Structure 1
Amino acid sequence: MEQPGTDTEADEQERPLLRRGRDDKLDRAPACCSARYSLAFFSCYGFFVVYALRVNLSVAMVEMLNATHQTSKNHSGSVCPAHTSPPQLHHNNTANVYDWDSETQGWILGSFFYGYILTQVPGGYLASRCGAKWLMGFGILGTVIFTLLTPVAADLGAGYLIAVRVLEGIGEGVTFPAMYAMWAAWAPPMERSRLLTISYTGAQLGTVIALPLSGVICFYLNWTFVFYVFGAVGLVWFALWVSFVSDSPSSHPRITERERHYITASLKNELSTSVGYIPWGSIVTSRPLWAIIVAHFSYNWTFYTLLTLLPTYMNDILGFSIQQNGMLSAFPYVGCAVLAVLGGQLADYLRESCLYPTVVVRKAFSIVGMIGPAVFLVAAGYIGCNYTLAVTFLTISSSLGGLSASGFNINHLDIAPSYAGILLGITNSFATIPGMVGPVIARALTTNNTIEEWQTVFYIAAAINLFGATFYTVFGQGTLQPWAVPRPYSHGDRAKEPCIMGKCTNPSLL
């Protein structure tokens, strides 16, 4: 049984693994040109592709619709005075357009999440059993292939396009669990925050670059090239991924012996030697895991609400044209990426150099990364037509959310590194639900597009964030859970060599 309330004490008493260097002669391997930081770069590139493929349809959809079926977007209907923008040249419109009503458009845009939620837990399980490299590689490759087929599917009909988007979601669904499983074998405990935040800034960069770039591609080429261009970028990533990435340090052909020893030695007391056994009962009843689930769900409610509706708010309330708000909508994600990376550096510094307990660091970053965005989101609803403050508050809100990347978002690796992929699959399944229902509820509450209605939307998101931060602060933990403690074999020296992601470093274990 887990003992709530003792986690902080245990965390304070345990010596950080890197502090044991004097006794165990564990020397830190240099970061420059290292295999683990190369993995961070390639995984960052991978998540750039993942999010670029996820959001590009929302921009292309505007150009895919027959003009007679599009809602007029003149600025006379915005709450605030319109912003003037320089006249635009007539853009390329040679691609086919379609007569899809608003309901059909909603199904097309939302269908991705119905596939995405299906492969979260299976992705974590398969990554631990079969290896994360190829699972993530083929998951993204499948998404790339279906992205390239998007124009053909659209010509065949809305039903085919919905099916393609569902299949894209299925492919992307394995990526986060697979990446967590891989980092369980690659990230030394005292470098987890910085390595994972570098990795996942790709998601923010994909959003930042894909939104405005998709608009440019649509304008100068046509909407079909949005899918061809980003699909080609994904194919390049797959070639690099299979060429330079390995499942574990023990199987990497170019890693230095010093780095290999540093990683495996720092993880030897955390990774399970019996990967075939998964304590499902203990996992689903774990309070620290449910703390992550609630925090992840709460954070994503605000994230997905802003991701899908921020351009609408800027257009319908603040009066920015689509050309203007395309770039302005990217500001929050730039700030989020920057603070995520800086927060990762700070979190590991506090744990390693200042000796703060892991649980304290995770909770502090989660509180700031969830309550901070809630405060500025609510404030954004009360500044009227002050455009500068509106953009500033919304940017600060999303930027502070980047700090949560060093909070609950990587806590899976603290409490159960051997099962991190499975845990991430579970939490991400719950965290996908806000993407399916949050924007729908928000649009239902803003039928008249008044400032008061949007204040209600912001209040709901802030309240959910506040609840998630409180729940995680009470029940979150930062140490290895009893059910995740490595189970050694009883055959002499076999217990000395761990199996990492299904691959044993000791041939005798095979």
Structure 2
Amino acid sequence: MDEKPSPRKGPPPCSLRCGLAVVMHLTNLAMITQRVSLSIAVIAMVNGTEQPAVANASKDGARADALQDPGRPLQELGAGGMAWTGQFTIWAKWAPPLERSRLTSIAGSGAACGSFIILCVGGLISQALGWPCIFYIFGGIGCACCLLWFTVIYDDPVRHPCISVREKDHIVSSLAQQPTSRRRSVPIRAMVRCLPLWAIFTGFFSHFWLCTIIITYLPTYTHSVLHVDVRESGVLSSLPFVAASTCTILGGQLADFLLSRNVLRLVTVRKLFSSLGLLLPSLCAVALPFVASSFVTTVILLILIPGTSNLCDAGFIVNSLDVAPRYASLLMGVSRGFGLVAGIISSTTTGFLISQDSVSGWRHVFFLSAAVNVLGLLFYLAFAQAEIQDWARDRRLTRL
């Protein structure tokens, strides 16, 4: 059984670990803006290169060809992969167990915040300054965040020159029961046989399937189904990520509150938030085709899908820190790989389906996404755990 540290209200806002969470928030913001920039630019490029005499059918065909480009999902989904997985290596040494959901949610909410910003202003920038300026502006922000990362982020609190003694002692003592010795060899065979790990991987696959569709195709959906122009489409597409950023932070706060007050066990908290983050957006996605005639209802559902989906940040997304903190970076890399595969498949499938028939295509896209989410959730609920696995413990401790 896991040893639980003494309850604590949480990190003070001025703590260094909260500062690290803010830096990672900005980093995730920069990464997602560069990723979604391509989604905005595709529509602007297609519209901008069409001559006035060209028929609408030709324009729709050009847009469909751009959406089905196999290199497009790879470019979008590969952006920032190493930086994202590397954050969990930092949190394995910086985040006390009762603060993990809170700190990782603050950092992870940068993705939703970045999606809101780029979708809100991307169309405006493309119309006012031209679509290349989207890449120049947000690429520059990414370079600034890179410099900030190298300046502020350190491997562990012991080596950081600016941390207070009190905070350093608190972090070190709260992680004292976890293995800290140098890893020898990676227990690949044990990992492959570990069903709790496969539960996490399956959760990532399901989560990224729908999230990639929303991030990549939301401007296209609002443009083709709701019939709004690029400028209005960008502003409208940004609204769901306000809810996503809010739910990410609130979900982490609530999860750590339930743990610190011993209301629920750790594994129950992980399963609860995973269930909310996979089931609620599935229900909203299934309902979308049936309310397409109602503009307001459609917008509400589109807002709820990313918002409720990000509750997973307090579920299986942080679960690898529970089961194997020593290998958090490796496991997050593998999990990210499963997510990337799901994103590539879902992006390509979505582009193909909506190019055949827009109305029935979107309906098939949302139904398929809901099915993937439900199947992934059932597997996670069946096999997920929150205890440190035997193969992830220090060998010296397992002999006692």
Question: Same fold, TM exceeding 0.5?
Answer: yes
Contact (CA 8 Å) 2:207, 2:373: kept in 1 or not? yes
Contact (CA 8 Å) 2:122, 2:234: kept in 1 or not? no
Q: Give deviations 1:117-171, integer Å, cap 9, x for gaps.
A: xxxxxxxxxxxxxxxxxxxxxxxxxxxxxxxxxxxxxxxxxxxxxxxxxxxx4xx
Equivalent residue, structure 1, for 2:186: 278
Equivalent residue, structure 1, for 2:225: 317
User: 2:65 is matched with which residue: 98, 102, 106?
Assistant: 102
**What do you get for the CA RMSD once the two structures are aligned?**
2.7
User: 2:245 is matched with which residue: 337, 349, 369?
Assistant: 337
Equivalent residue, structure 2, for 1:504: none
Equivalent residue, structure 2, for 1:32: 13
1:52-67 counterparts in 2 under 5 A?
Answer: 52-65=33-46, 67=49
Give the Cα separation in 2 of the matches to 1:412 and 1:18.
22
Q: Does the C-alpha gap of structure 1 residues 307 and 464 become closer, same or farther in structure 2, counting only changes over 3 Å?
A: same
Q: Give deviations 1:476-508, integer Å, cap 9, x for gaps.
A: 001111111123399xxxxxxxxxxxxxxxxxx
Give the Cα separation in 2 of the matches to 1:376 and 1:241.
37
Equivalent residue, structure 2, for 1:467: 375
Contact (CA 8 Å) 1:274, 1:487: kept in 2 or not? no
Q: Does 1:173 align with 2:173?
A: no
TM-score by length of 1: 0.72
The CA deviation at 1:272 is: 3.3
Give the Cα separation in 1 of the matches to 2:67 and 2:272.
43
Equivalent residue, structure 1, for 2:4: 16
- Which residue type is aligned with residue 67 of structure 1? T
Q: Does the C-alpha gap of structure 1 residues 365 and 101 become closer, same or farther in structure 2, counting only changes over 3 Å?
A: closer
Give the Cα separation in 1 of the matches to 2:317 and 2:204.
7
Q: Percent identity, please.
A: 31
1:160-309 counterparts in 2 under 5 A?
Answer: 169=79, 172-309=80-217
Contact (CA 8 Å) 2:32, 2:111: kept in 1 or not? yes
The CA deviation at 1:312 is: 2.0
Give the Cα separation in 1 of the matches to 2:63 and 2:366.
30
Q: Give deviations 1:207-234, integer Å, cap 9, x for gaps.
A: 1111232222222222222222112212
- Which residue type is aligned with residue 467 of structure 1? L
- Which residue type is aligned with residue 21 of structure 2? A
- Which residue type is aligned with residue 388 of structure 2? L
- Which residue type is aligned with residue 6 of structure 2? L
Equivalent residue, structure 2, for 1:454: 362
The CA deviation at 1:17 is: 1.1
Q: Does 1:43 align with 2:6?
A: no
- Which residue type is aligned with residue 213 of structure 2? T
Q: Give deviations 1:332-390, integer Å, cap 9, x for gaps.
A: 22111101100000000101113411100000111111011101110111113100001
1:373-388 counterparts in 2 under 5 A?
Answer: 373-388=281-296
Contact (CA 8 Å) 1:272, 1:484: kept in 2 or not? no
Equivalent residue, structure 2, for 1:112: 75
The CA deviation at 1:42 is: 0.4
Q: Give deviations 1:444-494, integer Å, cap 9, x for gaps.
A: 22334343332221111001100111110010001111111123399xxxx
Give the Cα separation in 2 of the matches to 1:228 and 1:180.
29
Give the Cα separation in 1 of the matches to 2:361 and 2:38.
27
Equivalent residue, structure 2, for 1:408: 316
**Count of aligned pairs:** 396
The CA deviation at 1:318 is: 2.2
Contact (CA 8 Å) 2:29, 2:111: kept in 1 or not? yes
TM-score by length of 2: 0.91
Give the Cα separation in 2 of the matches to 1:396 and 1:324.
19
Contact (CA 8 Å) 2:320, 2:328: kept in 1 or not? yes
- Which residue type is aligned with residue 253 of structure 2? Q
Contact (CA 8 Å) 1:69, 1:100: kept in 2 or not? no
Give the Cα separation in 2 of the matches to 1:72 and 1:327.
27
Contact (CA 8 Å) 1:373, 1:396: kept in 2 or not? yes
Q: Does the C-alpha gap of structure 1 residues 54 and 394 become closer, same or farther in structure 2, counting only changes over 3 Å?
A: same
The CA deviation at 1:110 is: 2.8
Give the Cα separation in 2 of the matches to 1:69 and 1:387.
30
SS at match of 1:18: coil
The CA deviation at 1:100 is: 11
The CA deviation at 1:271 is: 3.0
- Which residue type is aligned with residue 17 of structure 1? P
Q: Does the C-alpha gap of structure 1 residues 29 and 345 become closer, same or farther in structure 2, counting only changes over 3 Å?
A: closer
Unaligned runs of 5+ residues in structure 2 are none
Give the Cα separation in 1 of the matches to 2:228 and 2:63.
25
Unaligned runs of 5+ residues in structure 1 are 1-9, 20-26, 79-98, 117-168, 491-510
Q: Give deviations 1:237-291, integer Å, cap 9, x for gaps.
A: 2222222221110001111111101101111211331323321211222110000
Q: Does 1:328 align with 2:253?
A: no
Give the Cα separation in 2 of the matches to 1:101 and 1:443.
7
Give the Cα separation in 2 of the matches to 1:212 and 1:246.
33
Equivalent residue, structure 2, for 1:85: none
Q: Does the C-alpha gap of structure 1 residues 464 and 348 become closer, same or farther in structure 2, counting only changes over 3 Å?
A: same
Give the Cα separation in 1 of the matches to 2:298 and 2:64.
32
Q: Does the C-alpha gap of structure 1 residues 220 and 297 become closer, same or farther in structure 2, counting only changes over 3 Å?
A: same
Give the Cα separation in 1 of the matches to 2:89 and 2:45.
38
Q: Which has the larger radius of gyration?
A: 1
Give the Cα separation in 2 of the matches to 1:338 and 1:293.
25
1:433-452 counterparts in 2 under 5 A?
Answer: 433-452=341-360
Q: Does the C-alpha gap of structure 1 residues 375 and 73 become closer, same or farther in structure 2, counting only changes over 3 Å?
A: farther
SS at match of 1:447: helix
Give the Cα separation in 2 of the matches to 1:112 and 1:433.
13
Q: Does the C-alpha gap of structure 1 residues 405 and 72 become closer, same or farther in structure 2, counting only changes over 3 Å?
A: farther
Contact (CA 8 Å) 1:201, 1:340: kept in 2 or not? yes
